[in-house]
Amino acid sequence: MSADVELQGVSIAFGDFYAAKNVNVKIEAGEFFSFLGPSGCGKTTLLRAVSGFLEPSEGKVLIGGQNMSGIGPNKRPTSLIFQNLALFPLMSVADNIAFSLEVRGVSKQARRKRADELLDLVALNGQGDKKVHELSGGQKQRVAIARALAVEPEVLLLDEPLSALDLKLRQKMRTELRAIQQRVGITFIYITHDQGEALTMSDRVGVMNDGQLEQVGSCYEVYQAPSTPFVATFVGENNAFSGKVEKVSKSIAKVNVEGTSFSGSVGRTTLGDPHPVGVGDDVIIFVRPESLSLAKGTKAPKNNFSADIETIEFEGNLKNIYLKSNKNKSIRFSVPSVFDTSDLTPGSTIELSFATESAIVLPSGPLALD
């Protein structure tokens, strides 16, 4: 069984401080949904409101269509995996997993049987008698998942459970979490500040900043069609050029950036409508590092500008070229590693350009901090 989760105008205040402000989202049954945002953006607070450890100051949390207000965490069809996992160190692995069954008075044999089934599910067969401290980080992770699944929740809530693992293990656990979710078929709500995690695992992502849900969409949408400057800069890398709108025709805006004209497509709001930008508005035009290309060789290049190469950084699958424009603005330009950069030496000036379709124009707003 899996249930949908709906947040209707949820605000959570601690005194004068709003950890979450008017959050509205509907997470479908069986979906893998991630809340992505920097630390302190209110995503954990939101998860605690879904799990029942907090009551929203305003608004409602609905699970499977039912209003959850006044219903405690032990009475909700949710199960929470804590950031530090919160396994019980003095119990064996099997006792940890079957704790929720022990609570319900299930017999010892039945508990053991269920624990063994769940250990199989998370690929830890035969480890039930071990103590928690005898397990590796990745194994503890799996025990936490098995323990949470033992309740047979309709919604599994995960609070950055992979953050303590090293990179390789984290990547492996991502794939595994996704596979477990597909196998059990219940709704997963995942909290993370790591965009890689959110983008690889989720069906949809909700990007949060400062207590507000800035954009909800598929991983592709959030990356390709950000609807706020924050999302544009928080998810993936982006070059941001601030300027004023000179002309708008159809969905193309011509923007004057410190004397140079650039064209880009007008971004869409969270609701899917184009942002209403008019002549004279302050906007930011966003160009991804991989959307830039060398202007040399292209015929009648549009959106071109020159910049000085500062450093070239090799990152394995790609090379990042850091440049400074003549207006002293930092620019990042990425090319695949196979690209020949032998004639691009630090100090030399190159001409870059980008396609109008790959640039997005959004009304000015706060950017994500680097």
Partner 1 sequence: MGGFFKKNGSIISTFFLIAITFWLIFLILIPQLYMLDLSFRPNLPPLLRGGPDDVYTLTHYKHFVFGSETSKDAYNYVDIGVFVDTIGTAILVTIINLCFCYPIAFYIAKLATPNATRLLILALIIPFWINELLRSFAIRILFAGEGVINNLLLEMGLLDAAVNFIALDVALYTGLTYAYILLMIFPLYNALETLDTNQLEAAKDLGSSTIRTHWRIVIPHAKAGIASGSTMVFMLTAGALATPVVLSSPNTFWFTQLIYQWFNMNDNWSRGSAYSIILLVVSVAFVLLMMRIFRVTIGEVVR
- Nearest to partner 1 of 139, 364 (CB atom): 139
Give first-to-last CA distance, the chain, whole Å.
Answer: 41
Question: Among 56-64, 144-152, 201-209, 236-244, which window interacts with partner 1 (CB under 8 A)?
Answer: 144-152
Binding residue (CB under 8 A) for partner 1 from 44, 100, 195, 202: 100
Q: 272 and 260 in contact (C-beta within 8 Å)?
A: no
Q: Does 265 sit near partner 1 (CB under 8 A)?
A: no
Question: Among 145-153, 221-229, 259-267, 296-304, which window interacts with partner 1 (CB under 8 A)?
Answer: 145-153
- Nearest to partner 1 of 74, 345 (CB atom): 74
Question: Among 39-47, 101-109, 112-120, 189-197, which window interacts with partner 1 (CB under 8 A)?
Answer: 101-109
Tell me which amino acid residue 4 is: D
Counting Cβ atoms within 10 Å, is residue 179 exposed (0-12), middle (13-18) or buried (19+)? exposed
Q: Is 147 helix (H, G, I), strand (E, B) or coil?
A: helix
CB 44 to partner 1: min, Å: 12
Residues touching partner 1, count (CB under 8 A): 24
- Nearest to partner 1 of 53, 339 (CB atom): 53
- Nearest to partner 1 of 101, 277 (CB atom): 101
Q: Does 99 sit near partner 1 (CB under 8 A)?
A: yes
- Nearest to partner 1 of 51, 195 (CB atom): 51
CB 204 to partner 1: min, Å: 25
Q: Does 84 sit near partner 1 (CB under 8 A)?
A: yes
Q: Does 327 sit near partner 1 (CB under 8 A)?
A: no
Binding residue (CB under 8 A) for partner 1 from 64, 73, 236, 365: 73
Q: 94 and 119 in contact (C-beta within 8 Å)?
A: yes
- Taking the C-alpha atoms of residue 238 and residue 290, their distance in angstroms, rounded to an integer, is 9
Binding residue (CB under 8 A) for partner 1 from 51, 187, 195, 238: 51
Q: Does 151 sit near partner 1 (CB under 8 A)?
A: yes
Q: 325: closest CA among 229, 237, 257, 245? A: 257
Residues that bind partner 1 (CB under 8 A): 51, 53, 72-74, 78-80, 82-84, 86-88, 90-91, 99-100, 102-104, 147, 150-151
